[in-house]
């Protein structure tokens, strides 16, 4: 199964934020959208970072609630690790595990076309395994 299938199933919507937003604005956006991460866009609309709930919690724990008025530049995870739609779910899961991340923005021809979480990929991997089991059972029963 490809990451493109996951995007097709869940939809291409990506919640984004400008780099000059505050941590408080980011926290409100995460809560309002009911997501665990936002893609931070540069002036050209290209992904420059991912900001997760964990990033905000880390900043508050280290610096106190006063950090909520700071821009997200202090907290965001730079060096965006991405996926392409033509990659497999297993490749995405491996990258997430190796890099210890939970969200992968999906880039196609230089454009942001979606985002997948580790939960999205695990859900699709489990569905694929269950389908294989059903197919094997049908094959065995036909013999």
pLDDT on residue 32? 97
Distance CA(58)–CA(25), nearest Å, equals 16
Residue 83 DSSP label? B
Paired residues of 52 in beta bridges: 37
For residue 13, give the 3-state DSSP assignment.
Answer: coil
For residue 117, give the 3-state DSSP assignment.
Answer: strand
Confirm if 7 and 111 have CB atoms less than 8 A apart. no
* Domains of the chain as residue ranges with CATH: 3-142 (3.10.580.10)
**Residue-by-residue pLDDT tens, the chain, 143 positions:** 999 999 999 988 999 999 899 999 999 999 999 999 999 988 888 899 999 999 999 999 999 999 999 999 888 877 889 999 999 999 999 999 999 999 999 999 989 999 999 999 999 999 888 988 888 888 888 88
pLDDT on residue 42? 85
Q: Which two tokens stand for residue 86?
A: 């033509």
Half-sphere exposure of 61 (CA within 13 A, CB side): 6
Confirm if 115 and 92 have CB atoms less than 8 A apart. no
The pTM (predicted TM-score) of the whole model is 0.84
Dump pLDDT digits (tens) for 19-55: 899 999 999 999 999 999 999 988 888 899 999 999 9
Q: Are strands 111-117 and 16-18 parallel, antiparallel or unpaired?
A: unpaired
């Amino acid at each position: 199964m490809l990451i493109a299938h996951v995007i097709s199933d869940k939809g291409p919507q990506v919640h984004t934020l400008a780099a000059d937003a505050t941590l408080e604005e980011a926290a409100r956006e995460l809560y309002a959208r009911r997501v665990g991460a936002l893609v931070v866009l540069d002036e050209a609309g290209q992904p420059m970072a991912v900001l997760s709930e964990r990033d905000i919690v880390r900043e508050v724990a280290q610096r106190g609630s006063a950090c909520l008025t700071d821009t997200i530049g202090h907290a965001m995870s730079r060096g965006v690790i991405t996926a392409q739609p033509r990659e497999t779910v297993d490749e995405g899961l491996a990258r997430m595990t190796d890099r210890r991340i939970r969200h992968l923005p999906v880039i196609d021809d230089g454009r942001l076309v979606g985002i997948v979480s580790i939960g999205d990929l695990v859900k699709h991997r489990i569905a694929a395994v269950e389908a294989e089991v059903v197919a094997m059972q049908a094959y065995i029963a036909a013999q």
